[in-house]
Amino acid sequence: MTHRRNGLAARRRTVGLTQEALAEHMQVDRSTITRWESGRTAPQPWMRPRLARLLRVNAEGLNDLLTARLPSGTQGQDALDYAMLHPDRIDLPAVAALRTRFDDCTARYDRVPSAGLIAEAAAQLNRIAQLAAVSARGRVQRELHALHADACTLMGQLVWDASQRRDHTTAKTYYEQSAGLARHLRNTTLEAHALLRTCYVALYGAHDAQAGLALAEQAAETAERTSPALTGLALLHVAEAHAILRSASDCERTLSRAERHLDHVDGSDAAADLVSPTQFSRLAGSCYLSLGDHRRAETLLTSTAEKLRDRRKSRAIVLGNLTLARIRQRDVEAGVASLAEAIAELETTRGGGGLNIVFGAARELRPWRQEPRVAEVHDRLLGLMTAA
């Protein structure tokens, strides 16, 4: 009987590699990776040094991932259930099960209301923290602490979004905890992610561009040696802070730096999944909106909105900014159209960032409030506010 190598699959996801990306780096078919992870076959000895480098483990660590099995007598019992009954015996398959559940929760963030995910994420965080506190030293403990840091960051993100970006204190407490765990692990990628999330609170919650600028620069500097993805993402927010401060030259220069880093993102980057193909155009559009170049902002945001059909919270933010760009060019009809689309997204996701931008855009439509189409969209907003 074969046993799935859940630890191998979890490690691949932890370093940001899809099965396709790992297969490409290993110069094998994706089906080969699937067979390795399912336990049906194992990589040939000559392949293992390259595989270990890609997974960022040593030879002993790779051997653990390839040979990890459920404890004797527990083949019919879930590894995670066994770990909760015997927390001092937690192993890599159990950590992999925890990571899979966490990844599933994270994947739903951009499609459903954050309030509906908080209880599940909090339960996961508590379980991870309990197991991390009693786990043995070595790879299992390191993987648990890394997952703990990720779970803290997600909780901060959910709480802040569910509060419509008002509960800054709770969000920052979770981010500080994540950063502390990352520093303990000497994991600069995890630390930079927590710093960047704290930057969002300063930029979009407290509306303190100077504080946001400092935090984004710190995140970029922290991630520079380990993650082009996080470095590029942090630089995009450095550029946005410069735009809010009306420093066009600094903004343009930083956008170029960000683009260069993002061009170097590959499957070996642990933070690669944080960056989408639309990331640059989305943030650049926001920058030009702040700088008053509304036509350029509209061009970027229009194309971005079309590509974000599967990321509804992000799409609502883009559509809200697109509405602002159109209103400020006095194109009310187009502005109302994009605002209606944004409201449709928010009716199912309740994304805090999108709600704030959409209500701001509606305020800029007041000079035309007597027009039927504007009155209609205001009625939908009232319904959205009442439901929220």
pLDDT at 1: 37
User: What's the CATH number for 6-67?
Assistant: 1.10.260.40
26-43 b/e (C-beta count within 10 Å ≥ 16 → b): bebeeebbebbbebeeeb
pLDDT mean over 8-20: 84
pLDDT at 184: 94
> Is the distance from CB of 302 to CB of 321 less than 8 angstroms?
no
Q: How far apart are CA 82 and CA 86, in angstroms?
A: 6
pLDDT category at 73 given cuts 50, 70, 90 is: very low
Minimum mean pLDDT range among 140-149, 194-203, 219-228, 331-340: 140-149
- What is the maximal distance between C-alpha atoms in the chain? 74
Where along the chain do its domains lie? 6-67, 87-186, 316-387
pLDDT mean over 290-304: 97
pLDDT category at 4 given cuts 50, 70, 90 is: low
pLDDT at 202: 97
pLDDT mean over 97-123: 88
What average pLDDT does the structure give for the chain?
Answer: 88
> Is the distance from CB of 242 to CB of 284 less than 8 angstroms?
no
Q: How far apart are CA 282 and CA 300, in angstroms?
A: 7
Minimum mean pLDDT range among 8-12, 65-69, 73-77, 209-213: 73-77
With the CA atoms of 161, 162, 163 and 169 taken in that order, what torsion angle do they form, in degrees rounded to the nearest 10?
Answer: -60
More confident residue, 115 or 94: 115
- CA 348, 359, 122, 227 dihedral sign is positive
pLDDT at 77: 43
DSSP 190-231: HHHHHHHHHHHIIIIIS--HHHHHHHHHHHHHHHTTT-HHHH
Please check the confidence at residue 27 and state whether its pLDDT lies above 70.
Answer: yes
Write out the two tokens for 105: 């929760």
Write out the two tokens for 37: 């992870």
Q: How far apart are CA 90 and CA 140, in angstroms?
A: 8
Please check the confidence at residue 136 and state whether its pLDDT lies above 80.
Answer: no
Please check the confidence at residue 208 and state whether its pLDDT lies above 90.
Answer: yes
Residues 6+ apart with CB under 8 A from 313: 109, 110, 111, 161, 345, 349, 351, 353, 354
pLDDT mean over 214-234: 96
> Is the distance from CB of 316 to CB of 349 less than 8 angstroms?
yes
More confident residue, 20 or 148: 148
pLDDT at 388: 56
pLDDT at 387: 63
Q: Tell the residue number behind the tokens 């609170």, with chain if given.
A: 201
pLDDT category at 79 given cuts 50, 70, 90 is: low
> Is the distance from CB of 312 to CB of 111 less than 8 angstroms?
yes
| 360 to 108, 154, 187, 207, 374: CA distances (angstroms) | 26, 26, 38, 14, 14
pLDDT mean over 260-284: 87
> Is the distance from CB of 12 to CB of 32 less than 8 angstroms?
no
pLDDT at 93: 78
Q: Which three-class secondary structure state does DSSP give residue 136?
A: coil
